[in-house]
Structure 1
């Protein structure tokens, strides 16, 4: 018996040592050192600032870091995720509440690794997974531009994350699983514009962050980049095979859509994409052309479309109800004889991407939320109908218009989709 205990003792000691080493390794994984603060740099080359402004616009920084009615880049925008609500942070040059004491290495570490200057982990709602594909020069230019702007005193708001995601160090394990992207290198056989478009889509533009399905941990599903996703209650459509199919895009159409214009056959950007497209409109048109060239080169994926042979003979009474609602609520702008069809190119609704989509969600969201006016920015405006149309009326209108667009593929999920959207809004 004594001999058995003596033989077992080294195994017991080995297990303790291995457990200790594992615990130390886990602590090291969840800890990052702070980077010393600096005095805010104030002198920058004007050409670098111009480049930085373009990088920041391409990265949609203001879209997330400027809340409605708030000051530019001062944060405070709520970002609702399946794991709770995050509030974007202040990235102005304020030394106390912003990034005014950050050095360029601290800024680059945040952009590539998701680590703040003081060493705490940033949640991957900040798309550092994509930003790590950016060039060192672009990151330096963005840093210069942000540091050159006005400092705004705007303390961070308290996040409301669910357990266990409210434990920030656990993000380190998320990074271990999913933070593997590297800076992009040009593809020699492709054009300069194609490579520029690929860089903007996969790097600063982080298009896959919205246009890809996510797994249970909130990371992009492997092998399904740009295959379609969801954001803020909207469907972000697949960006694959856009040059093919029943409602294919031309280069001119996609460039205009990306720049917030109204496009016959597709409509105009709404929902979260509206702010993105307005930002692209402020960039050189060559960037939108490059994005279009890259996206239209991507192959599609097989899509099984459910055909309803008897759908063309839809119930006349239901169609009549939808037609009456269209005449009273929509025809003033979208009817065949509407002046707005000529003034700003309003599309026939049956020729829009929302009516051609497999789900009614984006069409219903557009009708419910409208397209708000942005002071000083030209573009279409549409009033919201959330308070003036009930679910039965919205279902009738959607059924009628879908019948005009795709008579053999009716939407069968209208009631459930409307109820879900109403609950999300609450």
Structure 2
């Protein structure tokens, strides 16, 4: 009879051997480095097109650390498997992509393989970028290669075993990567096809707005059903017609370009910087995105007619009464009915708010905890943070009152516990 320690040792050897074989079979060839191309080698029109592509891809947000230089990397990206640090994509030859050829850059975009042959983690959304056109990839390359070179090395990733073994990503790619430029659908018009390319490719919207499986891949058949990103619920994009006031194309365009829709709410969390990038691209790009998203809507199961005030005759609970007092003290000036700041500030009634009508209180909690920071003269939306002002119980009371007063939906459960959980998650980032 073979003893258990021997069995475990044999299993360990077998696993190590399998990983070694996988490393040999899966290794990719390196592409020779090149001398950093001079900025003058790219024409102005290509660079201008590249600025548009990079903005649509939201590249600066993920590849810029807080307080860091643009595109120099170092931003920590929290995942269920540990922390990945965004890389430097400035044209620095030593720590960035300055010695990458267009061929190497294209391979990274299409296949998730670095210039030296190692596999990239799918926090870089190459499974969506792979659908980009060759001309868009070349334009992005030209734009990035003409940015300021910054010498900056990203910290080492901190991932759990065995996910820190990069060759295993080949198996992940076999499941989720379908490389190649996206083809147009002849039965659809040009705007729809453009929107489809931007949403499924450059914009990589499904990577945030879809549920993920246990290995971090998008759940098959559940694209745009909603997800969780950086502690925020990314709402479903295929039920926009089921909002208390269904989204129109113009409202969606306005929201995506300004961060605010007068009958839905304001962008916050990870979505806010996306809207700032989209504000810099031609309006027809955002109109195409909106047109495509609105074509994905599921049938509405029931009426969602909005109401601005509490319709139920049921009395407020003790917790909701405490919340009403907090609302009057801290929120009514901007969000109360007939508030003097509501009309000039274009603040929608909370009855229309996506966060207030959501299935979970997570986004409402995040808004109360962190608010929306002031960004100087370019500020569109601002909300003070109350995380240091109110306790978990007080925030739970406040949001219970708001939910009962402004939403048609049933009360959230375990709100105080969720507040504590969200605080803990935020502190760990």
- The TM-score with structure 1 as length reference comes to 0.90
- Aligned residue for 1:340, secondary structure, equals coil
1:121 is matched with 119
Q: 1:419 to 1:22 in 2, by over 3 A?
A: closer
User: Is 2:395 aligned against 1:394?
Assistant: yes
Q: 1:167 to 1:24 in 2, by over 3 A?
A: closer
Q: 1:182 to 1:303 in 2, by over 3 A?
A: farther
Q: Distance in 2 between matches of 1:378 and 1:187?
A: 39
Deviations 1:35-83 (A, max 9, x none): 1010111211111001000000011100100112110100011000000
1:5 is matched with none
Deviations 1:194-252 (A, max 9, x none): 11111110001000000000001000011111111110111011111323454310111
Q: Distance in 1 between matches of 2:186 and 2:21?
A: 41
Deviations 1:13-37 (A, max 9, x none): xxxxxxxx98896344320111101
Q: Distance in 2 between matches of 1:214 and 1:362?
A: 19
Q: Distance in 1 between matches of 2:144 and 2:212?
A: 31
- Aligned residue for 1:29, secondary structure, equals helix
Q: 1:259 aligns with which of 257, 260, 264?
A: 257
- Aligned residue for 1:341, secondary structure, equals coil
Note the C-alpha offset of 1:303. 6.8
- Aligned residue for 1:354, secondary structure, equals coil
2:318 is matched with 317
Q: Distance in 2 between matches of 1:242 and 1:418?
A: 26
Note the C-alpha offset of 1:347. 2.0
Q: 1:303 to 1:425 in 2, by over 3 A?
A: farther
2:380 is matched with 379
1:350 is matched with 351
Mean CA deviation greater in 290-299 or 318-327: 318-327
Q: Distance in 1 between matches of 2:411 and 2:103?
A: 54
Note the C-alpha offset of 1:181. 4.4
Q: 2:139 aligns with which of 138, 141, 151?
A: 141
1:241 is matched with 239
Q: 1:164 to 1:311 in 2, by over 3 A?
A: farther
Q: 1:301 to 1:181 in 2, by over 3 A?
A: farther
Note the C-alpha offset of 1:355. 0.7
- Aligned residue for 1:235, secondary structure, equals strand
CA RMSD of aligned residues (A): 2.2
Q: Distance in 2 between matches of 1:23 and 1:59?
A: 34
Q: Do the aligned partners of 1:212 and 1:227 also contact (CA within 8 Å) in 2? A: yes
Q: 2:26 aligns with which of 13, 30, 54?
A: 30
User: Is 2:150 aligned against 1:155?
Assistant: no
- Aligned residue for 1:353, secondary structure, equals coil
User: Is 2:213 aligned against 1:215?
Assistant: yes
User: Is 2:282 aligned against 1:284?
Assistant: yes
Q: Distance in 2 between matches of 1:22 and 1:125?
A: 25
Deviations 1:230-284 (A, max 9, x none): 1011101111132345431011111111113432221111110001011111111
1:195 is matched with 193
- Aligned residue for 1:86, secondary structure, equals strand
Deviations 1:290-327 (A, max 9, x none): 1111111113167799xxxx975143533322211111
Q: Distance in 2 between matches of 1:276 and 1:57?
A: 9
Mean CA deviation greater in 365-374 or 253-262: 253-262
Q: Do the aligned partners of 2:90 and 2:96 also contact (CA within 8 Å) in 1? A: yes
- Aligned residue for 2:225, secondary structure, equals coil
Gaps in structure 2 of 5+ consecutive residues: 1-16, 304-310
Deviations 1:111-143 (A, max 9, x none): 111111111111000000100011111001000
Q: Distance in 1 between matches of 2:204 and 2:340?
A: 38
Mean CA deviation greater in 322-331 or 208-217: 322-331
Q: 1:182 to 1:405 in 2, by over 3 A?
A: farther
User: Is 2:80 aligned against 1:82?
Assistant: yes
Q: Do the aligned partners of 2:241 and 2:300 also contact (CA within 8 Å) in 1? A: no
Q: Do the aligned partners of 1:107 and 1:117 also contact (CA within 8 Å) in 2? A: yes
- Aligned residue for 1:355, secondary structure, equals coil
- Aligned residue for 2:378, secondary structure, equals coil
Q: Do the aligned partners of 1:265 and 1:353 also contact (CA within 8 Å) in 2? A: no
Note the C-alpha offset of 1:396. 1.2
Q: Distance in 2 between matches of 1:394 and 1:354?
A: 14
Q: Distance in 2 between matches of 1:170 and 1:316?
A: 53
Q: Distance in 1 between matches of 2:313 and 2:165?
A: 54
1:334 is matched with 335
Note the C-alpha offset of 1:374. 2.2
